[in-house]
Amino acid sequence: MSYVDEVFEALKVKHPTEDEFLEAAERVLDTIRPAVEANEEKYRKAGLLERLVEPERIITFRVPWTDDKGVNHVNLGYRVQFNSAIGPYKGGLRFHPSVNQSILKFLGFEQIFKNSLTGLPIGGGKGGADFDPKGKSDAEVMRFCQSFMTELYKYIGADEDVPAGDIGVGGREVGYLYGQYKRITNLYEGVLTGKGLSFGGSLARPEATGYGLVYITDEMVRAAGKDLKGKTVVISGSGNVAQYATQKATQLGAKVVTLSDSNGYIYDPDGIKLDIVMEIKNVKRGRIREYVDQVPSAKYFEGERPWGVKCDIALPCATQNEINGEDAKKLIDNGCWCVAEGANMPSDADAIDAYLKAKILYMPGKAANAGGVATSALEMSQNSERLSWSFEEVDSKLKNIMVGIYEKVAEAAKKYSYETDFVTGANIAGFEKVADAMMAQGLV
């Protein structure tokens, strides 16, 4: 049995109930196989893969808090410190009732490779709690965040572990968590990212994921001898990532013709007017269908996703598993020749197979949406220097990082003769840096 298979079989026996984590580990291990086989003896002797698939540490703790009626509750809090070979643990905190150890291990494992791809010194981690902020008052959320941080602060630090937001943890929660950390430790340091601009946040962080997605798409398209100018782009979602992807794609001369939310999608053949979308979504907190009230030439399709619309490029920016095998086939049949993922895992396994089979340009989210975490790492740098960089400075660094990610992914794919397979390229490029660092640091 190959080393990769041996390690995966043992992992299944050790963690039989962790479905999400096992699925992620299998997907990654399978694609890094050529890089492992090229060094099999060395890696086996060092127990490299056995160590790679086990978190360095998992911290689990109870989070007691009192609601507005005086009733006490206890939630479960976690921090998975997966791998610190190339830098302090870095990854978001998720507050959602579905949170459990398997999901956080899956997300933390993926984060190792995404963070490595950015070229910045950040390791992989993830954390959170099975707490649902929906329907809770500000005071309840604050008490929960304070109780959560009262335990977590012992295990994190600017040079140790730097959490950020994720589902259910936005600017409000990061603010409360930061306030409690500072209060307990008396330290004003970059221990969390995604902070408000008035207390150490970075300019261009809101734009970073969407802009980064378009920068790497532009690079990939140009490497294929094409150009974004004049191309028709289909985007899903209408939140943070979708909005800034629309803005940057439009600035680069492409025409974005769709956006969506969980109720349906809008099609504007003349190109989406982003100021109208931003007013509806960010100011009025309305639904995307309201766009057609203001732009009568646009159409709204209730209950549908935009994958049947003819386009050159598709940028899924809404949620996981939003493109299945049939959707992918529709896109390809309609002439789509490029897919880059703003969302995390928007394409299911059948969709990815369809892209790879058709040999269209496809950049997986791990590489394509890494601009968000990369800019969080730039926030850490600014906090360490006690300086704030201009928007232009952060944006130009972001662009260089995304170009660098494309180069690393394409090079790794080429090195192992998987030229058109950037899934394999991204996993191998992410893995090789971490593997080098782990080998150099000995059996730890």
Q: Which letter, b or e, does each residue of 2-17 get, where b requires 16 or more Cβ atoms within 10 Å of its Cβ? A: ebbeebbeebeeebee
Smallest gap, in angstroms, from Cβ of residue 35 to ligand NDP?
Answer: 25
Closer to ligand NDP at the Cβ: 49 or 327? Answer: 327
Terminal C-alpha separation, the chain: 26
Smallest gap, in angstroms, from Cβ of residue 219 to ligand NDP?
Answer: 18
Question: Is 284 designated active site?
Answer: no
Q: Which stretch binds ligand NDP (CB under 6 A): 52-60, 94-102, 124-132, 255-263?
A: 255-263
User: Binding pattern to ligand NDP, positions 151-190, x when CB under 6 A?
Assistant: ----------------------------------------
Non-local (6+) Cβ contacts of 318 within 8 A are 236, 237, 239, 242, 260, 261, 262, 343, 346
Applying CB under 6 A, does 317 fall inside the site for ligand NDP? yes
Instruction: Check 90, 126, 255, 399 and give the catalytic one.
Output: 126
Radius of gyration in angstroms for the set of CA atoms belonging to the chain, rounded to a whole number? 22
Q: Are strands 232-235 and 123-129 parallel, antiparallel or unpaired?
A: unpaired
Give strand pairing partners of 256. 233
Applying CB under 6 A, does 379 fall inside the site for ligand NDP? no
C-alpha to C-alpha distance for 433 and 381, rounded to whole angstroms: 21
Smallest gap, in angstroms, from Cβ of residue 108 to ligand NDP?
Answer: 14
C-alpha to C-alpha distance for 180 and 153, rounded to whole angstroms: 9
Applying CB under 6 A, does 420 fall inside the site for ligand NDP? no
Residues 260 to 289 in contact with ligand NDP, rule: CB under 6 A: 260-262
Applying CB under 6 A, does 91 fall inside the site for ligand NDP? no
Number of residues that bind ligand NDP (CB under 6 A): 19
Which listed residue (39, 319, 324, 334) binds ligand NDP by CB under 6 A? 319
Place of tokens 């007691």: 64
Residues 380 to 399 in contact with ligand NDP, rule: CB under 6 A: none
Burial of 239 (0-12, 13-18, 19+ CB in 10 A): middle
Applying CB under 6 A, does 118 fall inside the site for ligand NDP? no
Applying CB under 6 A, does 324 fall inside the site for ligand NDP? no
Q: Are strands 264-267 and 299-302 parallel, antiparallel or unpaired?
A: antiparallel
Smallest gap, in angstroms, from Cβ of residue 291 to ligand NDP?
Answer: 12
Non-local (6+) Cβ contacts of 270 within 8 A are 297, 298
Which listed residue (77, 124, 342, 430) binds ligand NDP by CB under 6 A? 342
Which listed residue (318, 360, 380, 426) binds ligand NDP by CB under 6 A? 318
Q: Taking the CA of residue 323 as centre, how many other CA atoms within 13 Å lie in the half-sphere pointing to its CB?
A: 35
Applying CB under 6 A, does 217 fall inside the site for ligand NDP? no
With H, G, I as helix, E, B as strand and everything else as coil, classify residue 386: coil
Give contact residues for ligand NDP (rule: CB under 6 A): 209, 237-242, 260-262, 317-319, 322, 342-344, 369, 372
Instruction: List, by residue number, the catalytic residues.
Output: 126
